[in-house]
Amino acid sequence: MTMRHFSALLLALALWPAAAGAVLTIEITEGVSGARPVAVVSFGHPDDVRPNTDIAQVVATDLARSGRFSPMAREELPARPERGGEMDMDQWRQAGQDHVLVGQVDRGADGLVIRTQLMDPYREEQVFGYRFQAPQSGLRRLGHRLADRVYEAVLDRRGAFSTSMAYVRTERETGDEPRYILAVADADGRNEQIILDSGQPLMSPAWSPDGRRVAYVSFEGGRPGLWVQTVTSGSRERIGPASESRSAPAFSPDGRYLAWTRQDGDNTDIYITDLERGGDPVRVTRHWAIDTEPAWLPSGEGLIFTSDRAGSPQLYEVELDDRARPVSNPERITFEGNYNASADVAPDGRHVALVHRNNNGFRIAVLDRERGGLEVVAETTMGESPSFAPNGDMILYAAERAGRGVLESVSSDGRARQRLGMDIGNVREPAWSPFDALTSN
């Protein structure tokens, strides 16, 4: 399953066993020693106001799963202030908390009004204060946004909790053929929206940089083909003729180009389509080997792809000009181990997440393009499809646990890990969205 595109190109896709179900849950499997202590106090509210979401719990869970914060257990909180002015700063210093988030929920003219403050007990000052307005249905999304604000205020890096992810899962009723479902959900696995439900296999979702479209592979018609679909409207377009086998789509950073793989007999090569001007695709590679899984550099000036031209799957890099045409011969960039594939490039352009095989199975690793070092960050046996968060701090990937597909994430330094599992069924092929993805009207 890890080399999914090699399998697809050879038309040897394995059908995943499946069962019904779509509820994703979070299990934090590894924490980080030295994570920043933070207290998130339950938001107060009048008796006649009953929020349907515990905003503070959403914030605390988000911060905990980043691995960079250690929220204080609710039952250990020394007090439950609703405003910064109610806090005894010495009390929170003695509790060892670097920051304390407090807030209140009240009724507004149009929905609910949420006021919140992040306090620094050591400096005895307010870090930020915000006033939000949201309907009951928007409180969970608000919690993610608030976690982003805390993350950025403390770490000076944009948080990615209010982003989304795309993935493919399978469902099967007893005795029926499997259904393949392309879906998007919040980054914590909640609020799933089905994008496409098909009786044919779906693979390789890839976000456009504006977060409005998803490219993917569908086997409708009996062979792999490329489609680009608008998330909110459901409108979709096939990229290329139905007579060709195409797979492994990847949008360029400006959204103008789509890189992909074409199978022609026993040969596969990488091509690029100009989505704005059309015309014939540009051929990027010309080799008898399998060249697949293109991933763009953030600058748009090159691709990293998987090739077995050296006898086993390894990563290669090719330079492109400003019209997405190759201007160099591909150069190999991975040399440690006999299997490195499925690249995803971090926003900094320096680090590359990939699937690395060693004696114990398929691991998730990170390659440093500048220094050349490769570090395993997730010890899995069947890891696949790594995808960086848009801030580069976390990596989402698929794994197999107890015979079923689950999604997991790991901090980019490998120190914190969590599992997003479905209650039943299989989920694969994750892709983390860019910032500000538009997933609902």
Band of residue 266 on the pLDDT scale cut at 50, 70, 90: confident
> What pLDDT is stored for residue 4 in this prediction?
43
Average pLDDT over residues 39-43: 98
CATH number at residue 276: 2.120.10.30
Q: What is the dihedral of CA 103, 107, 112, 113, to 10 degrees?
A: -40
Q: What is the pLDDT of residues 62-76, one digit of tens each?
A: 999 888 999 999 999
pLDDT for res 429: 95
The chain-wide mean pLDDT, for the chain, equals 90
Whether 188 maps to a domain, the answer reads yes
Q: Contact 383/395 with Cβ under 8 angstroms?
A: no
pLDDT of residue 1: 34
Which of 106, 130, 155 terminates a domain? The answer is 155
The tally of domains found in the chain comes to: 2
233 and 189, same domain (yes or no): yes
Quickly list DSSP for 223-235: S-EEEEEETTT--
Same domain flag for 138 and 168: no
If asked whether residues 252 and 109 sit together in one domain, one would say: no
Give the residue-averaged pLDDT of 209-228. Answer: 96
Of the candidates 122, 155, 188, which is a domain's last residue? 155
Q: In terms of domains, do 38 and 172 share one? A: no
Are 221 and 106 within one domain?
no
pLDDT of the residue at 359: 77
Gyration radius from the chain CA atoms: 23
Residue 23 lies in a domain: no
Asked whether residue 278 carries a pLDDT value surpassing 60, the answer given is: yes
Extract the tokens encoding 185. 């959900």
The pTM score is 0.90
Q: Are both 147 and 168 inside the same structural domain?
A: no
Q: How far is CA 38 from the centre of its chain?
A: 25
Q: Are residues 124 and 222 in the same domain?
A: no
pLDDT (0 to 100) of residue 15: 31
423 and 308 part of one domain: yes
3-state secondary structure 92-117: HHHCCCCEEEEEEEEEECCEEEEEEE
- State pLDDT tens for residues 320-343: 999 999 999 999 999 999 999 999
Residue 265's pLDDT is what? 80
Residue 238: what pLDDT?
96
Per-residue pLDDT, averaged over 365-381, amounts to 92
Nearest to 302 by CA among 250, 356, 247: 250
Lowest mean pLDDT among 3-17, 27-41, 185-199: 3-17
How far, in Å, CA of 265 to CA of 6, rounded? 13
Taking the C-alpha atoms of residue 138 and residue 204, their distance in angstroms, rounded to an integer, is 30
Asked if the model's pLDDT at residue 20 lies above 50, the reply is: no
Position 291 scores a pLDDT of: 97
Range of the domain at 131: 32-155
Residues 292 and 324 in one domain: yes
Residues 412 and 282 in one domain: yes
> What pLDDT digit, counting tens, does each position of 86-102 carry?
999 999 999 999 999 99
Q: Residue 21's pLDDT is what?
A: 41
Q: What is the mean pLDDT of residues 152-160?
A: 97
Residue 16 lies in a domain: no
CATH of residue 39: 3.40.50.10070
Residue 202 has pLDDT above 90, yes or no: yes
> Which DSSP symbol is given to 84?
G
The pLDDT, as a whole number, for residue 2 is 39
Instruction: Write phi, then psi, for 344 (nearest 5 degrees).
Output: -140, 130
Q: Which helix (H) or strand (E) holds 61?
A: helix 55-66
Helix (H) or strand (E) holding 343: strand 340-345
Q: Is residue 10 assigned to a domain?
A: no
pLDDT band of residue 186 (cuts 50, 70, 90) is very high
The pLDDT-based confidence of 425 (bands split at 50, 70, 90) is: low
Question: In terms of domains, do 317 and 206 share one?
Answer: yes
